[in-house]
Amino acid sequence: MAELSKEDARILLKSFFNEKGLVRQHLDSYNEFIDHGLQEVVDEVGEIDIEVPESPYKVKLGQVWIIDPQSRITGPYVTEVDGTKHEIYPMEARLRNLTYAAPIALEMTPVIDGREQDTELVYIGSIPVMLKSKLCFLSQLSREE
In this predicted model, what pLDDT tens digit does every residue of 39-87 receive, in sequence order?
A: 999 999 999 999 888 888 999 999 999 988 888 888 899 999 999 999 9
| Mean of pLDDT over the chain | 89
SS3 37: helix
* pLDDT of the residue at 128: 96
* pLDDT of the residue at 55: 84
Tell me the pLDDT tens digit for each residue of 100-116: 999 999 999 999 888 99
* pLDDT of the residue at 52: 84
Q: Say which residue, 104 or 5, is predicted with more confidence.
A: 104
Q: Using CA atoms, how far apart are residues 1 and 3, in angstroms rounded to an integer?
A: 7
Instruction: Answer whether residue 1 shows pLDDT above 70.
Output: no
pTM summary value: 0.77
Query: Which segment, 7-11, 17-21, 70-74, 105-109, is predicted with the most confidence on average?
Result: 105-109
Domain boundaries of the chain, sorted by first residue = 6-140
User: What is the CB neighbour count within 10 angstroms for residue 30?
Assistant: 22
Closest Cα partner for 139 from 102, 104, 85, 106?
102
HEC states along 78-91? Answer: EECCCCCEEECCHH
Provide the b/e sequence for 80-113 (b: ≥16 CB within 10 Å). eeeeeeeebebeebeeeeeebbbbbbbbbeeeee
User: What is the CB neighbour count within 10 angstroms for residue 49?
Assistant: 9
User: What is the CB neighbour count within 10 angstroms for residue 39?
Assistant: 17
